[in-house]
Amino acid sequence: MMRIKFFFFCLVCSTGVFAQVAKPLQFSEEIFDFGSIKEQAGPVTHEFTFLNNSSRHVKIVGVQASCGCTTPAWSKEPVAPGKKGFIQASYNPVGRPGYFNKSLTVTTDLDSNPIILQIKGQVAVEGEKENVQFQAANGSWKLKSGSFNLGKVFIKDEFTVRDFQVLNEGSKPVTFSGKYVGPAYIKIDVQPKTLAPGEKGNIKVSYNGKMKAKYGFQSDNVELYTDDELNATKSFSVYATLEDEFPQLTAEELAKAPQLRVQASTLDFGRLRPNVPSVREIQFYNTGKKELDIKSLQGNCTCVTASAEKTSIKPGESSLIKISLNPQDRKGSLQKSLTIYSNDPQNPVQRITFSGYVE
């Protein structure tokens, strides 16, 4: 009996030791939450450290960020066994109000399995603070901005709601009639309906991403009808960035999910001629365990168009994205990007940036 107990004791101990060295690169954490950060304060940075538990030197081959807003850095020299290395992530919150969740795909020369790190947080918008002046005039109304920027809106079958403060700086009451003109996926309400001179109110903007059914940055317009003598019909732009929302997955579920990997995050078009489109191809892969769907490809200007050879690829397969860049009448250096939207729950939004020189 004593021998049996000793055997199980050794088995438990050896299993515990194995669990500790199961990961060749052991990170101190793989997800970091910045919490609430200020948009006007500029970029924030976090450093992920890791211990090399393997028996050989390990080199970080590359780190690909899921968005151009995230800048990576990493240990350039091979990390010796038992030594530590780092992956650094800098996030720029300027012009990106609201919640963010970005990822870094780390590739090493140890094996072909990438390591996924995540940063997240909430960008606090300066315009949401009481001490920011109402500086955008629309008749007697004054707002903190002349447009409604909702930030990130998920493509789901319910309305995302944002509130925008309004001040009646006129000498007479202004009443919102309750009527407005705009797309069906945007709803507007103003409370109170009548604003007395010097009174503050609230404009509630509701946006249904599923009804809009498009990905990426979107711009719309709404017109509100009031009895304001200075400007009765008030026109506003409505901005939103549409993405899919994914539930929180367990480690086991993530291991079985689709995974998008792009051949490169940058592309050089070289020298270009004005008004002559230039075409490049870039390969992408599904390194996950389920079918990968490319939901949308969106350039950041009309000069960029793109199409995927296949929009659905099985695990282990690859396909091509054809990117066309038309310099139009531009001259000199050109910096553009293409955003890829997919059903990869860890990296649903990935960006390829490319450059060229127009002669």
CA 80-84-89 angle, 5° bins:
125
Q: Which residues contact 165 (CB under 8 A, 6 or more apart)?
A: 134, 143, 144, 200, 201, 202, 203
**Roughly how many angstroms between the first and final C-alpha of the chain, as a whole number?**
85
**Which is higher by pLDDT, 73 or 128?**
73
Is the distance from CB of 189 to CB of 204 less than 8 angstroms?
Answer: yes
pLDDT interval class at 71 (50, 70, 90)? confident
pLDDT of residue 125: 63
30-44, 281-295, 307-321: the lowest-pLDDT one: 30-44
Q: Flag whether pLDDT at 1 surpasses 50.
A: no
Cis peptide bond N-terminal to 327, omega within 30: no
Is the distance from CB of 182 to CB of 205 less than 8 angstroms?
Answer: no
CA separation for the pair 344, 51 (Å, rounded) = 28
Q: How many CA atoms lie within 13 A of 64 on its CB side?
A: 20
CA separation for the pair 237, 296 (Å, rounded) = 24
Q: Flag whether pLDDT at 11 surpasses 80.
A: no
The DSSP letter of residue 339 is: E
Average pLDDT score over residue span 8-21: 42
Closest alpha carbon to 97 in 146, 153, 135, 47: 153
Q: pLDDT above 90 covers what percent of the chain?
A: 47
pLDDT interval class at 258 (50, 70, 90)? very high
CA 74-338-46 angle, 5° bins:
25
Q: How many CA atoms lie within 13 A of 96 on its CB side?
A: 23
CB-based burial label for 254 (10 Å; 0-12, 13-18, 19+): middle
How high is the mean pLDDT of the chain? 86
Is the distance from CB of 179 to CB of 223 less than 8 angstroms?
Answer: no
Average pLDDT score over residue span 39-64: 87
CA separation for the pair 164, 128 (Å, rounded) = 8
Tokens of 283: 């390969």
CA separation for the pair 331, 122 (Å, rounded) = 38
pLDDT in tens, 173-227: 999 999 999 999 999 999 999 999 999 999 999 999 999 999 988 999 999 999 9
Tokens of 234: 């008030």
Tokens of 41: 């304060």
Q: Flag whether pLDDT at 56 surpasses 70.
A: yes
Give the containing element (helix H, strand E) for 10: helix 2-20
**Which is higher by pLDDT, 133 or 10?**
133
Average pLDDT score over residue span 335-345: 91
Q: Flag whether pLDDT at 8 surpasses 60.
A: no
pLDDT interval class at 23 (50, 70, 90)? confident
**Which is higher by pLDDT, 62 or 285?**
285
Average pLDDT score over residue span 40-67: 87
**Which is higher by pLDDT, 89 or 130?**
89
39-43, 148-152, 292-296: the lowest-pLDDT one: 39-43
Tokens of 108: 């090493």
Is the distance from CB of 326 to CB of 240 less than 8 angstroms?
Answer: no
pLDDT of residue 72: 84
CA 312-318-324 angle, 5° bins:
80
Is the distance from CB of 264 to CB of 321 less than 8 angstroms?
Answer: no
Tell me the β-bridge partners of 181.
223
Average pLDDT score over residue span 233-262: 90
Instruction: Quote the pTM value.
Output: 0.62
The DSSP letter of residue 317 is: -
Q: In what order do the strands lie in the sheet with 332-342?
A: 266-272, 349-358, 332-342, 292-299, 312-313
Q: Flag whether pLDDT at 111 surpasses 90.
A: no
pLDDT of residue 336: 86
Is residue 329 classed as helix, strand or coil in its secondary structure? coil
Closest alpha carbon to 188 in 161, 228, 165: 161
Tokens of 229: 């003598």
pLDDT interval class at 9 (50, 70, 90)? very low
